[in-house]
Structures are given as C-alpha cells and as structure tokens.
Structure 1
Amino acid sequence: MRLTVSMAATCAAWALAASGAAAGTLDVLVLDRDGKPTPDAVVIVTPSGKGQPKTPLLNSAVVNQEKQQFVPTVTVVAVGARVRFINSDPWNHHVRVGAAGAAVGASDGQSAVLEGKQDGKPASAAVFTMDKPGAMGAALLGCFIHSRMGGAIYVAESPWTVKTNAEGVAVLEDVPEGAASIKVWHAAQLVEKTPLQVNVLAAPAKATFQLDVAPRRRS
C-alpha cells in the first residue's frame, strides 16, 4: 500500500497523539498596564496533557551582588534548588530572601551578611535552599544596607515556567497539545490576575498577557 504525503503526515500525527508525545511551542508576550513589553515577568504554563520539557528547570543557580544590583534580577528555579549569592562588590552587602509581601525584617526569611570582596581573595557567598513553590513561595531579594537593591527568586510549580526577555517574551517549548492555562507573576503585580486559557497545537502559537501595573524599569 502506497501512502500519499498527506496520508503519511496524518498517520504520523495520529502516532504522536497516541503516544502522548505531541507538543508545541508557545510564545507569551507580557505587557504592562501601558501596553509596553515587560521583562523579568515569570510566565507559568500548566497544560492539561502530560509531558516534560526537554530543558529541565534549574536545580542550582548563582545570583551576584554587583554594582549594588542583584544579577540576574529574577531567577527561576525548581523546587529544592540551591541558590548561591555572591558579593562581587568591594563593600559589604546584606542579602535577605523573604516571602513576597512579608514585612521587612520578618523572621521567617533567610538572610546573611556578605563581606565586600578584597583583591586576591575569593568573594564571600551564602547558599539558600528554595523549597516553597508558586506565587506564595516567591521570594523577594533585598539588602538592608542598600535599600534600592531588589530582585526575586521564583520557585516553579510547573516545569513550563520561563521569565520574559528584554522584549517581554517568554518562549515555552515542548508544551503538550491541548488545553492549557497561562499565569504571569511579577513582584509589582500584587493581586494575581485570572489565568489565560489557551489551546496548544503542534504549530507554534502566540498569546498576550497584560498586567495591571507598570513596573519601574531597571536602570
């Protein structure tokens, strides 16, 4: 029996669907209240189908304190990941990892003082374990010594969790075909918005999510 190209493609699609391997790519554009692209927003996609992305979430990460900034500003990790904070500045820094919305100085966060880096010596560092997933476990980063410093660690509850790039776009690959919900987390968005419902297909798809806030741009 000879199959035409279209019949062969259809059979291949049926085989992928039967094996549960059918997946697509989803590009999510996050806009702020004013319609401008929002970098460093965390996009969380929860598909109805089963699967795993080829690129797993980070089980470890490094955040630098450099030029009185946390670099990167936002880090996405897996549950139980160990995050190493390094002070690359010549002056002392404090690092506090606390739950979003917690009062400054709350006792339930992790904190450490990191001495300034001296020439010829290793930079001081501290390692914290991130074990609370999702928006409730999202950690805000701060420094008691330099109040302008800020950042965030997001512990993903879905393996399809990616932060947006400088153009406000998050690219999520290997998302199982079918219904899926999209949530977006940003430290400035205090009230969680209703998830966006989409249908993922084999062909690349795009979606847009708009926040209710206009986050301050990092200088």
Structure 2
Amino acid sequence: MSKLAQHLALPALLAFCAAAQAGNLVVSVLDKDGKPVQDAVVVVTPASKGATPRNPLPMQATINQEKMQFIPAVTVVPVGAKLSFINNDPWDHHVRSSPAGMGQFSATNAGFELRLEGKPEGKPGKASEVTLDKAGVLGATLLGCFIHGSMRGYIYASESPWAAKTGSEGIATFEDLPEGAAQVKVWQADQLIDIAPQQVTVGAVLAKNVMQLTVVPRRRRS
C-alpha cells in the first residue's frame, strides 16, 4: 500500500476502532408501583474518561414561564451553560432558585433571583439570562416564583456529559458510550432521598438497566 493510501485509510481505521470500543445503554426508570417515570434525569459516568457523546448537552437553553408553569418542567444542561428565562404570561413573574431535594429545607445559598415583566400584548416576552458557573450549581436546582407559589421547575446541571431525561415511556438511551464499567444514577423531583447509584458494564451487546424509585411522582398539570 502506498503512503498516500495509508494516509487516506488511517481516519477510517481510527473511526472503526472507536466504534468497536463503544456501546449503547438503555435505562428504564420506574416508580414505586412499577410504572414508567417521565422527566427523570439519568446520569451515566463511564470509568473511562475523555470520551464525549456524539450529541453533547446544549450549552444554551431557554425556559419559558407560560400559563403559570415553567416550560420545560425539567431542563438538563452541563455546568457552565447559559439559561434564558422568558415570561410569556401577561403578568409579572419571579424566578428564584434554591437547592432541590432535601437541600431545599436547609438551604443557605440564596441562588439567583430574577423579576420578569409581563409580556406586552402583541410583542415578544423579554428575556433574562443566567450562567451556571457559580459554586453550588452542580446537580438539581428548584425553580419557583415569589408571586405564584404553585409554580415549580427544575434545572439539572450535570458534571458528566452523558445525561438525559426520560421520555413518556420512562426510558433514556445513551449511544457510543465507552466500553467498560460505568455508574448510573437517577434524579427525580419527588424522590427527596436519592436512590443508590448502580454499576453497569457497557460492551458490544446492548446493556439494559432498570432503576426504581421509592415514590410515586405527583401528576404534572397539563
């Protein structure tokens, strides 16, 4: 083989080797009664460091306040991401953050606070931005509104690039994970005490894992 042919073949060979060392993982999250859980956050931390997902977590995300709700209800981003908050209701809202889970009952960190004016009729809502680059942003953050106490939303800032929300079937799928050992943990808003992480082995055969909560999550308002 000529040097030119070897040079052209090298990228394909490297890509083949990378694919051969990658595996897929499907994680199913169930509630206490064995029913699928939507909007649970699944975080996978491979023992092999350095690999990154084909589709990384977004460094920017938008959270709307609309019809007295945070939309989406759960936002998953990496640490350092920039969040844009937009009020699409005609009345004013606040955005206040505090630790989620048991930490919300003993929080000493004030987090961040914003006040968003109501959306003028016929005009777009105004946006305010926050960057998750301060200490204490790792993991889950509870969002609320001082004016409307029933409003709840969540941000999950993941240190691992392998993180995803479960869909309506309670499933999160991860592709091209590094082969070998990995840790899987699950966060869900109504699970105040985290369930124990699980160890999995990722290989050529599709790996499947089931994580079951000890609670039945509250039904979300449609």
Shorter chain as denominator, the TM-score bin is: 0.7 to 0.9
1:65 is aligned to 65
1:37 maps to a residue whose letter is P
2:87 maps to a residue whose letter is N
How far does residue 18 in structure 1 lie from its aligned partner after superposition? 6.7
2:145 maps to a residue whose letter is C
2:195 is aligned to 193
Cα distance in 1 between the residues matched to 2:210 and 2:136: 21
Identity %: 55
- In the alignment, structure 2 segments of 5+ residues that lack a partner are 1-13
Change (3 A) 1:116 1:106: farther
3-state SS of paired residue (1:190): coil
1:138 is aligned to 140
Contact 1:32–1:210 at 8 Å: present in 2 too? Answer: yes
2:208 is aligned to 206
Cα distance in 1 between the residues matched to 2:26 and 2:120: 44
In the superposition, the TM-score normalised over structure 2's length comes to: 0.84
2:82 is aligned to 82
Change (3 A) 1:33 1:133: farther
1:91-118 CA distance string (max 9 Å, x none): 1111112222235996621111111111
Cα distance in 1 between the residues matched to 2:211 and 2:134: 25
3-state SS of paired residue (1:85): strand
CA RMSD of aligned residues (A): 2.5
How far does residue 151 in structure 1 lie from its aligned partner after superposition? 1.1
1:32 is aligned to 31
How far does residue 201 in structure 1 lie from its aligned partner after superposition? 1.2
3-state SS of paired residue (2:104): coil
**1:175-194 correspondence to structure 2 within 5 Å:** 175-194=177-196
3-state SS of paired residue (2:113): strand
**1:102-113 correspondence to structure 2 within 5 Å:** 102-103=104-105, 108-113=110-115
- In the alignment, structure 1 segments of 5+ residues that lack a partner are 1-14
Q: How many pairs align? A: 206
Contact 2:31–2:214 at 8 Å: present in 1 too? Answer: yes
Contact 2:116–2:126 at 8 Å: present in 1 too? Answer: yes
Contact 1:69–1:150 at 8 Å: present in 2 too? Answer: yes
1:106-161 CA distance string (max 9 Å, x none): 66211111111111333122111113689854211111111111111001111111
Change (3 A) 1:183 1:105: closer
In the superposition, the TM-score normalised over structure 1's length comes to: 0.85
